[in-house]
Amino acid sequence: MSTGIDPPTLALGSAVVLALFFNYTLRAPPPQIHPFLLGRQSLPAPTRNERESPVYTSSANGGARTLPRPDRAVRTLADVVNKSETCLEGGTRGTWVQGGEKLVGLVTALRAGLENKLQGVAGSVLIIVDDPTDALLVTLALATSALHPVVLAPGSPLPDNLDIGAVVKATDRADLAHVLGDRKCLDLSDLEAAQDLVATGRTLAPSSASSLGTEDKVDVNEVALTIVSDGLALPFTHQNLTASLASWLSLFPASPQATKPTLRDSALSFHHPSTPHGLGLALVLIYQSASLSFPPLPSATDLAPIAPAETDTAADTAAAEAEAKERVADAWCAVFAPKPAATLVFAPAHLVSDPLYKLVLHKILGDSSVIVRHARDGKLRLLREGTVSKQTFWDSLLWKGLRKDIHLTSLRGLFLSVSGPPPSSGSGGIPQSHLDTFRIALGCPVVPLLSHATLLAPVAATNMWDVQRLPPPGVKRLVGDEKGHVGAVAAGCEVKLVGDEEDFAAGRVRGELLLRTPLLPNPSSLPSHLLSTDTSLPALPPYPGQKAPDQTEQGARWFRTGIRAEMSTEGTLWLEEDRAQ
């Protein structure tokens, strides 16, 4: 009796095995976030005033006030620096970084050197440094010392009412020549003197290192540093800085997998640390001990188009345009090329979104249109089912090679900040087609944020696993060129919209965005025209250990952002377009 398997049975069995294999390979993973959570991302108060929306808070913490610090032991800026294991990666950066230096060691040495050079200075120390790495080191060094730094954001004018006793600069600005006068000035553009500053600090650091250990005696409500942003002086206390850590960390969900930055992460930041948003971002990466670098953008020469000559033929012009596109693509690839490979990228949307979108399209230009179409459609189907992944059949077919070409193989998060208020003719967010393309090609969450020039953390942030493509409020269906929302209210912020009562009665919650948050300095230090007092609501009680503000007016103090936005039924903010401020 024969025990062999006849050919029809073998063929049928093979077909079943292949069917099971392809079903396993091409099956859609479960959504990474429950749809119920995406439909209720901001919590409104049960009541509202006339011409105002309800007060919205983040649903991530159930509407409760965010803690003033992520850890009870982290009370001051020095505690953040002491806790960090951050390295400054990305090769040679600025004056003192050659690649891989521990941030704590550099800050300690630089602080000792600066204190030695600036002995006897009365008043604040103005910092005018354009290089982001140098600016971060000098800011941290002075902010953890007995001196009071005033950090000037790039391009910002300087108010006249600041008491400046000394200047640390690496950039000459003609409009600030009058500030120097007879004040003591340290010029970091002199490389020999700058290197000597750190060398001297290393010899002095052992005797002065104990001052970092006595920061528990510092009042958390004491001003740590002042940042001048858009001509507005913002005195941030230690509690403002630690509250920004708690707000930033709320952007990283713990389910279905841990997403917070860790010691294993290498982060690229395109935000200058002399701005409030850039400093808050740098501090949370330092607190989490992630490696940090500030990559330079491509030069104007690399991005300049080739002007065709009058004698050029159509073929010559086309060849020149192709050469220019290739040069631009190579320049942007070089931005992401330094090792270690980036795992997190934080950038302003107006700087990176459009170039990165064009880079992705340029890299797939030579591939088969059939492969590109099927690989895109396959990943797009996964997005519509609520899943973003880089371990799919379609990634093996096309997208893994693309990520290798642009040096983003290890990327696990792209955070794009939209700054407000937008210009009246400007964008109302990031095009949803760009967001879909990034999620498909990079295989990682792409997170739009709403930032403001005065805040240490975002006003609003999209959930990392939110990959929906929705029409804006008031629009019935998608057309193809819609801008995306900028997310729900971030933890640590309370917002409301002030507009027309007719809009609110019709169900359109839109108007100017007002907020109150510990991410802002004390309202008494801000100009009155930027504040709005709501006498119908009591002022928030102070945090534990904080004195109640002495205010002549009773009621809640709200900061006027100048941003016009609309709150959707899902609890996400959409920036209004083509509206005059």
Q: Is the confidence at residue 213, as pLDDT, over 50?
A: no
Least confident of 163-177, 225-239, 259-273, 346-360: 163-177
Split at pLDDT 50, 70, 90, the class of 120 is: confident
The mean per-residue pLDDT over the stretch 305-332 comes to 78
The mean per-residue pLDDT over the stretch 157-173 comes to 88
Least confident of 8-22, 112-126, 267-281, 284-298: 8-22
Higher pLDDT, 24 or 15: 15
Q: How many CA atoms lie within 13 A of 26 on its CB side?
A: 14
User: How far, in Å, CA of 366 to CA of 381, rounded?
Assistant: 24
- The pLDDT of residue 214 is 45
- Burial classification of residue 298, based on how many CB atoms lie within 10 Å of its CB (0-12 exposed, 13-18 middle, 19 or more buried): middle
Least confident of 8-22, 143-157, 259-273: 8-22
The mean per-residue pLDDT over the stretch 536-550 comes to 63
Q: Is the confidence at residue 516, as pLDDT, over 50?
A: yes
- The pLDDT of residue 580 is 35
For the chain, how many residues are written?
A: 581
**Beta partners for residue 515, in sequence order:** 495, 559
Split at pLDDT 50, 70, 90, the class of 423 is: very low
Higher pLDDT, 565 or 7: 565
- The single-letter DSSP state of residue 136 is H
The mean per-residue pLDDT over the stretch 458-469 comes to 94
Q: Is the confidence at residue 436, as pLDDT, over 80?
A: yes
**Which strands make up the sheet holding 488-489, listed edge to edge?**
101-102, 87-88, 291-293, 266-269, 344-348, 413-420, 446-452, 460-461, 488-489
Higher pLDDT, 466 or 477: 466
Split at pLDDT 50, 70, 90, the class of 308 is: low
- The pLDDT of residue 211 is 41
What is the CATH topology of the domain spanning 35-66+343-543+552-575?
Answer: Luciferase; domain 3 (2.30.38)
Check if the beta carbon of residue 562 is closer than 8 Å to that of residue 420.
yes
| Extents of the domains making up the chain | 35-66+343-543+552-575, 77-237
Q: Is the confidence at residue 509, as pLDDT, over 90?
A: yes
Split at pLDDT 50, 70, 90, the class of 479 is: confident
Q: Is the confidence at residue 212, as pLDDT, over 60?
A: no
Phi/psi of residue 11, each to 5°? -65, -40
Q: Is 514 left (phi over 0), alpha (psi -120 to 50) or beta?
A: beta
- The pLDDT of residue 35 is 83
List of residues 6+ apart from 79 with CB closer than 8 A: 73, 215
**Distances 416 to 281, 431, 447, 579 between C-alpha atoms, Å:** 12, 12, 6, 23
- The pLDDT of residue 312 is 64
Q: Is 289 left (phi over 0), alpha (psi -120 to 50) or beta?
A: left
Q: Is the confidence at residue 3, as pLDDT, over 70?
A: no
Q: Is the confidence at residue 204, as pLDDT, over 90?
A: no
The mean per-residue pLDDT over the stretch 253-282 comes to 94
- The pLDDT of residue 545 is 61
Three state DSSP letters for 365-391: CCCCHHHHHHHHHHHHHHHHCCCCCCC
Q: Is the confidence at residue 563, as pLDDT, over 70?
A: yes
The mean per-residue pLDDT over the stretch 335-343 comes to 91
Least confident of 86-100, 104-118, 437-451, 464-478: 86-100
Q: Is the confidence at residue 104, as pLDDT, over 50?
A: yes
Q: Tens digit of pLDDT for each residue in 67-79?
A: 888 888 899 999 9
Of 239, 235, 219, residue with least CA distance to 66: 239
User: How far, in Å, CA of 24 to CA of 220, rounded?
Assistant: 55
Q: Tens digit of pLDDT for each residue in 170-179?
A: 888 877 877 7
The mean per-residue pLDDT over the stretch 90-106 comes to 85
The mean per-residue pLDDT over the stretch 223-239 comes to 94
Q: Which CATH class is domain 77-237?
A: alpha beta
Split at pLDDT 50, 70, 90, the class of 486 is: very high
Q: Is the confidence at residue 373, as pLDDT, over 50?
A: yes
Q: Is the confidence at residue 149, as pLDDT, over 90?
A: yes
The mean per-residue pLDDT over the stretch 59-67 comes to 75
The mean per-residue pLDDT over the stretch 486-499 comes to 93
Percent of residues, the chain, with pLDDT higher than 70: 89
Split at pLDDT 50, 70, 90, the class of 18 is: confident
Q: Is the confidence at residue 578, as pLDDT, over 50?
A: no
Higher pLDDT, 66 or 159: 159
User: How far, in Å, CA of 427 to CA of 324, rounded?
Assistant: 26
Higher pLDDT, 426 or 535: 535
Split at pLDDT 50, 70, 90, the class of 424 is: very low
- The pLDDT of residue 219 is 84
- The pLDDT of residue 210 is 39
Split at pLDDT 50, 70, 90, the class of 543 is: low
Split at pLDDT 50, 70, 90, the class of 36 is: confident
Q: Buried b / exposed e across 161-187, counting CB within 10 Å, b at 16+?
A: eeebbbbbbbbeeeebeebeeeeeebe
**What does the mean pLDDT of the chain come to?**
86
